[in-house]
Structure 1
């Protein structure tokens, strides 16, 4: 199943208002459906409260996933909030997890900046009755109830390697511009990309991996440094939406435009001008709006007691249909999609 549904993707991606005020009424300390409710805030019961905690605020990717989450929470009659740090770092999310637990939030949906550093805080929240759903970037499995995976790590890694190989003639030096050095998903993809390169692309050499910490300026500067340090560089893979946009911005006005290929994971609205001006040929992603939408419905199903997170559990996710829980409490959205000049105009997010 593929994560893009044009009926949703073409609706547009209006900017999400950051810092929606917490709805204090309707918060319950328990992890099950609020007393007298049906898990959807109907029938006179208290509304299920769902808080989204992205890696950092002000990130267009997470703006889009939170937009989907908000739509889902509104669809099942719950109360939505988005909170988070301005910078993505391993411990920057801890205080927000603790606050959510103290406020009795029913479901916390989080993209983790570190697989292990958040576990103590998440365990405290779970003990207080909050259901924990990770999305985009997972924690250690024992620290949460469900992980909503955008696509398999193997599929994401292979898609990016295939794209760069095609763009540089399957030979030459490449580098990776990642997010933070601790990001669970980034590190998993990078290791799998290395395996894919070694197994199927012997003439491509990975010469460097650098980290922009999902900060636009740092990613821009790291791109410049890569090109200065590796004069024979033929391509860059950036498996992060902030990084690929910053790298494209640098390349678009540099002498390297058209000479150094760039691919990775990005959103159409970020990358459109760079595809149209020839800086970037093709890149990949799933629909982050669908990812947030699915994560919110997963939280609702946990809170309502419809599922426990065990393998084989199934639940309905609104417009996206039915999903099944796989091994290690993982729910798969779908496969990555390749954007290029022929199709990028069909999407708006």
Structure 2
């Protein structure tokens, strides 16, 4: 990247979660799972990073451009502190798809698991088993239930992220018209939280001439997201804009719009990467979109995992740790570590970034 990108301070994305696990299934699994290990030892911020740490990154799905970047830099972080990192995970994002990988990582005696949860609850029983076995758990991008991890590395506050996407689209459509959201999966923790703040933002007086008519789900699958975009515009031919808070969804929607009569008429924004959307910005399909640096998110998560595994932090509020080139971070309430502020990418600045 030619210059550092500001990062967002809230929840996040972007690939997704769905599946057939029921609430009763989850409750039964949780009650059967062993409790996480007892109260941790006090943190020692001066403890050295343990040599040879084994850290596994478990994204919502592999081969997703967003997670490829995040996990690549997370693995790079492990090399910086003398550890061993790897990425494993499902090819499809579903609620239960990550559980078998967690079980395998427990058997492999990893020192830490860094996970972006497809479902906040379905992975918790397996993660509790991991913690009981002494494995540290860091969630990133999309959180688990709090009893399923020690620390959550978050891009931005969910509120800021949800509201800013509405604000960005509102500017593009002149605060008038019908809009839709093209999300990932119905169960994606981050997506749903952002969408609730989007809806709340739209209740403000300045949006009285804007109407959210539909939340569609592309399941973070390219073809389904493409088809859902097509369906939205067939159902609402007067649609003024679409927000897609997922890298897969926004790219698929842009591809559809760029080769349709709706190009330039229907505004599209959301979350994506510069390399992924550069052509669509330059041809006028997209005016502007936003994101944090996913590489820095993975990098920070890797260092947080090392700090946990080395005893520098336990996940308690107020603890501090160093994250290599990113500097020092503080653990906030609920074990949350915020990466930073967002950047809007448009025709003026998109060529300044390479990721």
* TM-score, structure 2 normalization: 0.87
Give the SS at the match of 1:213: coil
TM-score (norm 1): 0.88
Query: Does residue 279 of structure 1 match 2:285?
Result: yes
Does the aligned pair in 2 maintain the 1:159–1:336 contact within 8 Å?
Answer: no
TM-superposed deviation, 1:346? 0.4
Aligned pair count? 317
2:243 matches 1:237: yes
Is the partner of 1:335 in helix, strand or coil? coil
Deviations 1:157-204 (A, max 9, x none): 111001110111101100000001100000000000000011241211
Partner Cα distance (1:52, 1:138) in 2: 14
Shift of 1:211: 0.5
Checking the alignment, whether the CA contact within 8 Å between 1:155 and 1:336 is kept in structure 2 is no
Shift in Å, 1:7: 5.0
Aligned 8 A contact 1:148 1:295 in 2: yes
**In the alignment, what sits opposite 2:329?**
323
Query: What are the ranges of 5 or more consecutive residues in structure 2 without an aligned counterpart?
Result: 7-39, 42-46
> How far is the alpha carbon of 1:64 from its aligned partner?
0.5
2:56 to 46, 51, 59: 51
Secondary structure at 2:243 match in 1: strand
Looking at structure 1, the residues matched to 259 and 215 of structure 2 have their Cα atoms a distance apart, in angstroms, of 23
Displacement of 1:115: 0.8
Note if contact 2:202-2:208 (Cα within 8 Å) is conserved in structure 1.
yes
- Cα distance, 1:54 vs structure 2: 0.4
For residues 42-101 of structure 1, give each alpha carbon's deviation from its aligned partner in whole angstroms, at most 9, with x where no partner exists.
xxxxx1000000000110000000111011101000001100000001110000111111
For the 8 Å contact 2:5–2:292, the answer to whether it is kept is no
Shift of 1:40: 3.9
1:183 has 2:188 as partner = yes
Residue of structure 1 in register with 2:49 after alignment: 39
Aligned to 1:223: 229
Partner of 1:16: none
Note the C-alpha offset of 1:6. Answer: 2.1
1:1-349 matches, cutoff 5 A: 6=3, 38-41=48-51, 47-199=52-204, 200-349=206-355
- Which residue of 2 is the match for residue 18 of structure 1? none
Q: Does the Cα contact within 8 Å between 2:5 and 2:343 map onto a contact in 1?
A: no
Question: Could you tell me how far 1:102 is from its partner in structure 2?
Answer: 1.2
1:240–1:265 CA contact under 8 A, matched in 2: yes
Partner of 2:9: none
Distance 1:8 1:337, change over 3 A: closer
User: 1:233 is paired with a residue of what secondary structure?
Assistant: coil
